[in-house]
Amino acid sequence: MGHIGDRLIEEGRRKRTALVVGLDPDLRYIPDAIRQGADPETGEGAAEAIYAFNRIVIDAVADHVVAVKPQLAYYEIYGASGIGALERTIRYARSKGLLVLNDAKRGDIGPTSAAYARAFLGDGPIAGDMVTVNPFLGSDGYMPFIEAAETAGKVVFVLLKTSNPSSGELQDVKLDGGGALYMKLAEELERLAARSLGTHGYSCVGAVVGGTYPEEARAIRAALKSAIFLVPGYGAQGGSAEALRPFFDVRGEGAVVSSSRAILYAYRSLGDHWSSLSEAEIGRAIGEEAAGAKEAINAVRGL
Amino acid sequence: MGHIGDRLIEEGRRKRTALVVGLDPDLRYIPDAIRQGADPETGEGAAEAIYAFNRIVIDAVADHVVAVKPQLAYYEIYGASGIGALERTIRYARSKGLLVLNDAKRGDIGPTSAAYARAFLGDGPIAGDMVTVNPFLGSDGYMPFIEAAETAGKVVFVLLKTSNPSSGELQDVKLDGGGALYMKLAEELERLAARSLGTHGYSCVGAVVGGTYPEEARAIRAALKSAIFLVPGYGAQGGSAEALRPFFDVRGEGAVVSSSRAILYAYRSLGDHWSSLSEAEIGRAIGEEAAGAKEAINAVRGL
């Protein structure tokens, strides 16, 4: 089984990109042309519209990204129909040679985490190549994911320092004896990451470190050298390309940067008539935004 | 809109129970009679077997529980088919007058948490009456769930001190200035819980406190008077009925106790022939185990 830590680095080199595009389909922002014939008020209709939109996005960004990142909530809203759209989206992305990162943020007690790991890193209908995991339940909660990733040659990104404004409330608490909680977690993850290093020095164990927190990223990178970072928060959440420098290693590798709304809905900045744009116009706007994000990030990486 | 904090207390009084049964369907433990005609290796077949099993469980436990608690991982394994089984399970439980608690442990950045809240507390196909939420992302991650619960008269159970062995690694960290992380979180939740109190003194904001940690529960209960506790860990995870005393208030209320594997698979203790038992025998074993758990918990509650 190939090591996806390696494959992620190699795909990034081959395509000259560190960009990941989130697939967070929100029907309110999907143009009429794509909803055509679909009733967005029913699960079936919404699922059709979501899949049609995702196909346009995937076609538009495929040359500019190492992976797509479905955000599970946007599919669960529509129950089985929505998860059916996720299944089809995953298949379509794979048919275009893209890696798939399920942004699921799962985490539970051991046996249930093992079931989630099977769902997302096994060979079932919503399994991808990578998944995000919430460490709040401690190691017996996240180890089933890490063990599944090591076995299957896939990647687990453990939440470490998230991009949202209140992420510090728990993640930054100062511990008795000094240091923030996220640094304690970073040290534990380094120990785990180091045991599954690939050819390029990175592990099956990755970490989510928000692009909105470059100072914290510097400290985390120093403690956690073996983990690829998944960096959300670039774009709509306000993170700038310049702020991304500390996330990368000296070769400009070791991190992938995720952007969702700023790229997905780029066509909305074309004006009030966005809802009546054609599929071709929508795809072009999304593709240009993705290409621009890729180059802005590459400039910071020294490429 | 009725207040589900109230409804949970009133249902518990009416049925004289504080028991919740988890629906964690694991095909390895589902007898042949229930799998009949279904291919458990395909998503469709597995979903049929899961739904058939859940119907038997619901019929067997309906008189002994205030709610059923589907554990989402066991459905996600089978993708859209599995979520379809969840949809049908929720509908069936409701047709039997049961409340539904989705054990989802979701939590994300604000807009995504709002989408999850819509999925689980809205009116969509997998929405129930209650949901479990992971607070690792801080208040802007869990507030969308709490606001949705307040609006819809539903309940959010925030993970506070989970039942698993390693729960202490993050949740118990000692903070600079004294106290454990879970106590800091308990104090914050009390502030939020107090703003949506129902007639019986409990809130739309509940907390998950593992039955395996009675000492911690005592301290949490003192700080967090307004939250109903969801108490997992009784049964297969080793928690005893006696250990449950500190979770309840002086009236023996304010907590619901969840058991999954010990009740769901009670028939496996009947002997090696469990896989060939009839539906009636399976249902009887599950119902007797649930009745026994209800009474053991009631004894501790002073009922």
Using the structure block, give the residue that is written with the tokens 């020095």.
A201
- For residue A60, which of A257, A231, A267 has the smallest C-alpha distance? A267
Contacts 24+ apart (CB under 8 A), A87-91: A87/A125, A87/A126, A87/B79, A87/B80, A88/A51, A89/A23, A89/A50, A89/A51, A89/A54, A89/A55, A89/A58, A90/A125, A90/A126, A90/A127, A90/A128
Task: Determine the average pLDDT of the residues in A201-227.
Answer: 96
Q: Please, which residues have CB within 8 angstroms of residue B260's CB and are 6 or more apart in sequence?
A: B21, B22, B23, B24, B69, B71, B232, B235, B236
Within 8 A by CB and 6+ apart from A171, the residues are A160, A161, A162, A180, A181, A182, B136, B138
Q: Tell which residue, B164, B128, B115, B69, has the closest CA to residue A103.
A: B115
Say if CB A204 and CB A4 are below 8 A apart. Answer: yes
| Chain B residues with CB-CB distance to A208 below 8 A | none
Give the residues of chain B that fall short of pLDDT 50.
1
What is the nearest CA distance from B8 to chain A, expressed in angstroms?
24
CA distance B156 to B150: 9
- Give the best residue of B75, B81, B103, B108 to mutate against chain A (max A CB count within 10 A): B108
pLDDT digits (tens, 9 = 90+) for A100-123: 999 999 999 999 999 999 999 999
pLDDT, tens only, A29-77: 999 889 876 777 789 999 999 999 999 999 999 999 999 999 999 999 9
Angle at B296 between CA B293 and CA B298, to 5 degrees: 105
Give the span between the Cα atoms of B205 and B195, in whole angstroms. 9
Q: What is the ipTM metric for this complex?
A: 0.96
CA A231, A109, A151, B169 dihedral sign is: positive
Inter-residue contact A30 to A44 (CB < 8 Å): no
User: Which two structure tokens, joined as six digits, stand for A274?
Assistant: 């966005």
Number of domains observed in the structure of chain A: 1
pLDDT tens digits, residue range A230-242? Answer: 999 887 777 788 8
Q: Which of B63, B89, B59, B55 is nearest to B75 (CA)?
A: B89
Q: Specify the pLDDT at position B1.
A: 47
Task: Give the residue-averaged pLDDT of A282-289.
Answer: 98
Distance from CA of B260 to the nearest CA of A (A): 11
Q: Is the pLDDT of residue A1 over 60?
A: no
* Residue numbers in B near A48 (CB within 8 A): none
- Is residue A95 over pLDDT 60? yes
DSSP state of A127: -
H-helix or E-strand spanning residue A65: none
Fill in the DSSP letter of residue A124. S
Nearest to A255 by CA among A68, A19, A64, A62: A19
Give the residue from B52, B65, B240 showing the smallest Cα distance to B163: B240
| Residue A155 β-bridge partners | A130
Chain B residues with CB-CB distance to A118 below 8 A: 77
Query: Given this model, what pLDDT does residue A2 score?
Result: 63
- Which chain B residue's Cα is nearest to A120? B77
- Based on its alpha-carbon atoms, the radius of gyration of chain A, rounded to whole angstroms, reads 19
- Residue whose tokens read 């004289």: B16
- Residue B68, H or E segment: strand B67-70
Helix/strand/coil for A234: strand
- Other Cβ atoms less than 10 A from the Cβ of A60: the count is 24
| A239 falls within a domain | yes
Per-residue confidence at A87, pLDDT binned at 50, 70, 90? very high
Please say whether the beta carbons of B40 and B27 come within 8 A. yes
Contact at 8 Å (CB) between A212 and A136?
no
* Interface test mutation site (partner A, options B164, B167, B174, max chain A beta carbons within 10 A): B164
Q: Please tell me the distance from the alpha carbon of residue B52 to that of residue B50, in angstroms, as a whole number.
A: 5
Domain with residue A43: its CATH number is 3.20.20.70
User: B28-56: per-residue pLDDT in tens?
Assistant: 999 988 987 677 778 999 999 999 999 99
From chain A, the residues in CB contact with B163 under 8 A are 109
Interface test with B, best of A24, A26, A44, A77 (most B CBs within 10 A): A77
High-pLDDT (> 70) share of chain A, % = 99
B109 with A83: Cβ contact below 8 A: no
Nearest residue in A to B210, CA atom = A109
Instruction: Residue A137: give the domain boundaries.
Output: 4-146+231-300
Residue B174 main-chain phi, psi, to 5 deg:
-85, 130
Question: Residue B262: its pLDDT value, please?
Answer: 95
- Average pLDDT of chain A? 95
Contact: B87, A79; criterion CB under 8 Å: yes
